[in-house]
Amino acid sequence: MGKLMVLTLLGAGLALIGERLVALRQRTNASREVEPVEPQSCHLIEGLENGSEDIDILPSGLAFISSGLKYPGMPSFAPDEPGQIFLMDLNEQNPRAQALNISDGFDKASFNPHGISTFIDEDHTVYLYVVNHPHMKSTVEKFKFEEQQRSLVHLKTIKHELLKSLNDIVVLGPEQFYATRDHYFTNFFLVLLEIIMDLRWTYVVFYSPTEVKVVAKGFSSANGITVSLDKKYIYAADVTAQNIHVLKKHENWDLTQVKVIHLGTLVDNLTEDPDTGDIWAGCHPNGMKLLIYNPEDPPGSEVLRIRNVLSEKPKISTEYANNGSVLQGSSVASAYHGKLLIGTVFHKALYCLL
């Protein structure tokens, strides 16, 4: 009787794992291929060879780009080199990427930048907040941008029990921001189990010096996050659920869900078009190719544009798609007055004219 019980439980467990693996293939679009779509003029950006995971563009046209992310389970073409922040001036006719110097006193050797967000203070000082993974942990680094010197001055490191496994960040005030947690567990094998079982334990967290709290939860893997132009709504991507959550922001910083926009692709970082309020989304058309990297069959790239976000029927269009022959693993797309930057988790970056 005992052996029968053990065999029954074993069989049920194997059946559950099998069902979850099939579901994982569906959630990652493991069989999907993309047809090429390209704006009229695009070229690779010289100097960005090891990723451009997130991009934030100031109203002035200066674009900050995080590069060199080392992320568990993802390839890295420069595993022994520290991460960097690059700057591009999109007002130039032929903008180039320039690595920013970082002030002494900051551990540059372990710099591992992920999501980024800028904040402009009342005195026009620009601050850059960076999700950092030194030694595979999570912190938020606050820098002051020195435009004349083209440098970053490190001001402080922010840590908190709720700021673990961070992915992206959007800053809305002096040291007031929302951030996404993309995995509940920090152990790699438990993360794999979490992904396979689709536990949906990740969340959006609000941080201020006086209060830190979870403000939206139930995500499969909370990823990119941004804010509407009028600062009334937060948009948060759930990468393996293939959707964007539209959340209303309240005066106490709480969030309530308005709706969910399903995209049918693994959506990564989100940005707002400063001219139209449209959402630009860097996406992974086939997540399995991203997780199991094969240079002979690399992960492709896809950029979606979502117009009329708050309407009953938002318009979703594909603005860029490539099978990996040009750009692998797109993670972000950011527009500025007819120009578009497309970044990747670990590969190159693209500059396009719309």
Best CA proximity match to 182, nearest among 160, 205, 157, 161: 205
What is the Cα–Cα distance from 92 to 342, expressed in whole angstroms?
17
What is the Cα–Cα distance from 346 to 67, expressed in whole angstroms?
8
Q: Which residues contact 104 (CB under 8 A, 6 or more apart)?
A: none
Tokens of 210: 């006086």
Query: Pick the catalytic residue: 114, 133, 154, 347?
Result: 114
Contact 286, 28 (CB under 8 A): yes
Which amino acids are annotated as binding site for Ca(2+), given as ranges?
53-54, 116, 167-168, 223, 268-269
What is the Cα–Cα distance from 50 to 75, expressed in whole angstroms?
10
Q: In which element (H, E) is residue 81 found?
A: none
Strand partners, 130: 116, 141
43 is catalytic: no
Tokens of 73: 């389970």
Residue 269 vs residues 3, 20, 227, 252: alpha-carbon distances, Å: 50, 26, 12, 25
What backbone torsions phi and psi does residue 110 show, to the nearest 5 degrees? -105, 10
What is the Cα–Cα distance from 217 to 348, expressed in whole angstroms?
32
Which amino acids are annotated as binding site, given as ranges?
53-54, 116, 167-168, 223, 268-269
Tokens of 201: 């334990």
Q: In which element (H, E) is residue 257 found?
A: strand 255-262
> What pairing do the DSSP bridges indicate for beta strands 101-102 and 151-158?
parallel
Rounded to 5°, the CA angle 63-84-354 comes to 30
Strand partners, 279: 272, 306
- Give catalytic residue positions: 114
